């Protein structure tokens, strides 16, 4: 038996991430192996989970992944853990289409209970109606308990505790608001200036949680039978040399993408900020990140830009990586910096506009899935996008997300997920 559960909420902004990080760190400090997961395509929360738990956090996404792949990942990474904690996405029932890919969908599929985090700052006994609705709306899930967030007095909590009891959901405690636990937001998600500062915040959040939450009761209520361990994959690695850009400018990477690439060959890393020459490689992988925050350093590394222009192998570039391969990037102030010039594309952080959503990309007979999340805008030479490529959203409607497939390069605003089907990506890339 193993405690395992999803941290969910009625809506975004209720405090799921802070509660998840605090739980992971509190359990880790007790000597328990707490395995983090993230429901959905987010690539930032898993970075935070990994720091809090000292174990890699894994995305579980029922839109980008098959059910068999989700089940295997959950079983594999939970196998040697004492506790498995999955952070939900948006509101409990919010998915790509209705509940598709939602936290509730994942909880029902994996048969694990839900711990609901409710922002009760401006709520009293009305919490009973909210909790009753969430408990009964979708009978295939079990809400094992509720944590009330932003509750500052014991008398307020007593009202909420009574509301939870009348709705038939155990109240596991409350968290008074602590402004010093707030994690600053950047345009692509939660951000903190340094790992040291972040560790202090996580430790403080864990201290705060242990004072107010009935942690032992939570673990007892969520104990379930462990999923059976999957069979080991003993496939020998292939011969490819793969170099992955990874530094402060490029670090939005799905862990399973790297594991998949390692089945094709040897994976090494380099930094477009500091590496002066490209490592020997048959494939260069530029994931997304924050190149717009490091434009001066990227533009100043002319030896690497020159080496890129002379490179003859394959290149896969996603979002920030695509921006880096273009002619230039313009920052918010209007200053333009030259980039690699491998694509006749220019991007700008001025007049920012959010582009967000799941995408499926049809390239000849191959289907690639991914997620788009960016604020920059682009201009490209007419006819650069390939006519044989179709891009659809989760509702199977055509969208104008650019996908550039030119010679040895596949570049897009999408963050592709190919942890399950690296062979499909290989067919598209020609390796």
Give the count of beta carbons closer than 10 Å to the beta carbon of residue 42.
Answer: 24
Contact indicator for 304, 272 with CB cutoff of 8 Å:
yes
Cβ neighbours of residue 392 closer than 8 Å, sequence gap 6 or more: 359, 360, 362, 398, 399
| Closest residue by Cα to residue 416 from 245, 253, 248 | 253
319 an active-site residue? Answer: yes
How far is residue 220's CA from residue 225's CA, in Å, rounded to a whole number? 12
Extract the tokens encoding 99: 């509940």
Per the structure block, which two tokens stand in for 280? Answer: 């020997």
Among 66, 65, 59, 22, smallest CA distance to 39 is for: 59
Orientation of helix 255-262 relative to helix 422-429, angle to 10°: 70
Distances (CA, A) of 174 to 155, 193, 364, 425: 11, 28, 53, 46
Q: What are phi and psi of 174, to 5 degrees?
A: -140, 160
Positive or negative: CA dihedral 246, 250, 251, 254 = negative
Burial-class residue 222 by CB neighbours within 10 Å (0-12, 13-18, 19+): buried
Give the CA angle between residues 271, 44, 184 to the nearest 5°.
105
Report how far residue 143's alpha carbon sits from residue 74's, in angstroms, rounded to the nearest whole number: 20
For residue 83, give the DSSP letter: E
Catalytic residue among 52, 295, 319, 411: 319
Active site residues: 319
């Amino acid at each position: 038996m193993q405690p395992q559960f999803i941290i969910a909420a009625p809506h975004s902004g209720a405090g799921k991430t802070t509660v998840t990080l605090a739980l992971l760190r509190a359990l880790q400090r007790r000597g328990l192996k707490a395995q983090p997961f993230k429901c959905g395509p987010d690539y930032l929360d898993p970075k935070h989970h990994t720091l809090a738990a000292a174990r890699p956090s894994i995305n579980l996404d029922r839109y980008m992944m098959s059910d068999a792949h989700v089940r295997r990942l959950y079983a594999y990474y939970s196998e040697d853990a004492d506790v498995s904690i999955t952070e939900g996405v948006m509101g409990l029932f919010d998915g790509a289409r209705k509940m598709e890919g939602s936290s509730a969908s994942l909880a029902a599929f994996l048969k694990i209970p839900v711990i609901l985090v409710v922002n009760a700052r401006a709520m009293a006994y009305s919490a009973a109606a909210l909790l009753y609705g969430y408990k009964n709306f979708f009978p295939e899930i079990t809400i094992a308990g509720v944590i009330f967030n932003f509750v500052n007095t014991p008398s307020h909590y007593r009202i909420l505790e009574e509301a939870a009891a009348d709705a038939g959901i155990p109240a596991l405690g409350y968290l008074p608001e602590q402004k010093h636990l707030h994690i600053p937001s950047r345009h692509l998600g939660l951000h903190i200036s340094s790992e040291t500062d972040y560790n202090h915040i996580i430790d403080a959040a864990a201290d705060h949680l242990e004072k107010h939450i009935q942690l032992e009761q939570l673990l007892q209520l969520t104990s379930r039978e462990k999923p059976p361990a999957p069979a080991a994959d003993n496939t020998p690695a292939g011969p490819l040399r793969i170099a992955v850009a990874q530094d402060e400018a490029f670090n939005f990477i799905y862990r399973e993408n790297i594991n998949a690439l390692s089945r094709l060959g040897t994976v090494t890393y380099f930094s477009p900020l500091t590496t002066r020459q490209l490592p020997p490689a048959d494939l260069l992988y530029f994931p997304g990140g924050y190149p717009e925050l490091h434009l001066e350093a990227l533009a100043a590394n002319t030896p690497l830009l020159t080496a890129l222009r002379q490179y003859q192998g394959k290149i896969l570039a996603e979002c920030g990586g695509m921006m880096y391969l273009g002619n230039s990037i313009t920052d918010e102030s209007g200053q333009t910096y030259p980039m690699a010039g491998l694509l006749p594309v220019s991007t700008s952080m001025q007049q920012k506009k959010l582009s967000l959503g799941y995408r499926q990309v049809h390239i000849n007979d191959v289907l690639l899935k991914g997620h788009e999340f960016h604020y920059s805008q682009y201009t490209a030479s007419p006819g650069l996008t390939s006519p044989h490529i179709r891009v659809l959203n989760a509702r199977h409607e055509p969208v104008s997300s650019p996908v550039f497939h030119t010679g040895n390069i596949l570049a897009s605003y999408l963050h592709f997920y190919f942890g399950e089907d690296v062979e499909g990506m290989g067919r598209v890339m020609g390796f």
